[in-house]
């Protein structure tokens, strides 16, 4: 049975297990310098759970260098998973949101 692409990008943000997974990944990294989640997964999960993020916030979530983050961002854009838009209050800033497919 083929899964609709939108179904893949729908999570129950109220389900505490998603937050626990992201927190466990951060705790494991802090204690053991080991990651379970890719930078793309961390950014995408945070966007899906919390809503729009500024690029600088997403960069911290990704846990990569500046250059590495823009490679992550490009992969997410190429996959059609995120949108980048100007912040309405600060035209210098950019916001990331989950791509609304359909």
Query: How are the residues of the chain apportioned to helix, strand and coil, as percentages rounded to the nearest 5?
Result: 55, 10, 35
Q: What pLDDT digit, counting tens, does each position of 42-70 carry?
A: 999 999 999 999 999 999 999 999 999 99
Tell me what pLDDT residue 13 has. 82
31-42, pLDDT tens digit by residue? 999 999 999 999
- pLDDT tens column, 6-17: 556 678 888 999
pTM: 0.83
pLDDT at 1: 42
pLDDT of residue 57: 94
Domains and CATH numbers, the chain: 5-98 (1.10.10.10)
DSSP bridge partners of 94:
86
């Amino acid at each position: 049975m083929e899964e609709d692409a939108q179904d893949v990008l729908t999570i129950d943000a109220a389900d505490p297990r998603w937050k626990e997974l992201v927190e466990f990944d951060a705790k494991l990294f802090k204690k053991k310098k080991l990651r379970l989640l890719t930078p793309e997964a961390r950014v995408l999960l945070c966007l899906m759970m919390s809503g729009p993020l500024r690029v600088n916030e997403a960069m911290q979530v990704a846990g990569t260098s500046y250059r590495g983050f823009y490679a992550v961002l490009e992969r997410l854009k190429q996959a059609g998973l995120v949108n980048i838009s100007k912040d309405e209050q600060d035209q210098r800033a950019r916001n990331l949101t989950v791509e609304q497919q359909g």
